[in-house]
Structure 1
């Protein structure tokens, strides 16, 4: 459990591997008694305990929503367990894959009893102290979304941008377009002067905080061009 800013706490999902590095990052977001949770790990009892500990230590009484970056099991596989640990049916927001019938069926096979709340591009999710704006960023997966944290001029980057390695992708063209979208969003924050202490932060799903997000994204773009 690491406090990264006044409104962001990182909770590691405790699932280290060659693919997840030291594990998947989940994030407790907001400043009030009800906060958002970005992703929820893959379904480990140890993570449930860590989440509850982080909530207690910060005076958080309730998770208002789980905000999911994409369908991969290390990000959403723990949803059913987290709901049981919390003791209530917390809503989960995610971009829908393909058609609604396929999406509901596929997600229910992963142990999620309740359907997701559909997320569209530029949708806004609010909790006290945090405004999260959805950025459709397909490529890594068709349903991938990043979430801009407007108060900090930062972005929860999911698996679109990592810190410690490059990511894989299903669709290179879509992924390249998504990197361009992140570059433009970070530049927009800079022009508006809304960055956290002048930092263009990215909060990735794997690895440490990226302090200079613009430089990291530009590096990813250059890497793809060179390939």
Structure 2
């Protein structure tokens, strides 16, 4: 009887743990990393940004310019939309943005002034980043296509103006910090290169392009 009692008690003690083990969900290492993360980056988001851009215009106009390469800078602002997928601590995604700018500069030569401005630009980029689980911080690199609206005007007799859409590429890096489950702040640097295109800015054809740097700060709302 004593032996039977010991065996019965041992069976009762083992039963709850067996039941719990049978009911316990199986969690993959990737899922476990996301559960334990301070912020889940997966999903779509929209946001706004503002910043500053600086760079160089290259133009060869109808007149002999004193300096065909001249610097321009100015403020910019716009919005972005994107989508992320999280694989453990790796975050991959896509993002598009549209920016309005007031980047403009002029150069003179041969009795005429050539003014070139970047009025807007847009990019479509991929993003790859690393998420720091315990701080809710994402650092990432980004690269993709860029387009921009550039206007060139030539003053003086026979002068005129023309605007064209230039194409090129953008690449850079950034850091994004979560401050709530669906809200984050970011700082981002981009290098943007818009390739040369012909402009009909008066009696002669003008070629112009812009390449430069963008530093912007923004906020994203995840949905």
Higher relative contact order (CA 8 A, sep 6+): 2
TM bin (shorter chain): under 0.3
Higher strand residue share: 2
Higher helix residue share: 1
The alignment's TM-score, normalised by the length of structure 2, stands at: 0.22
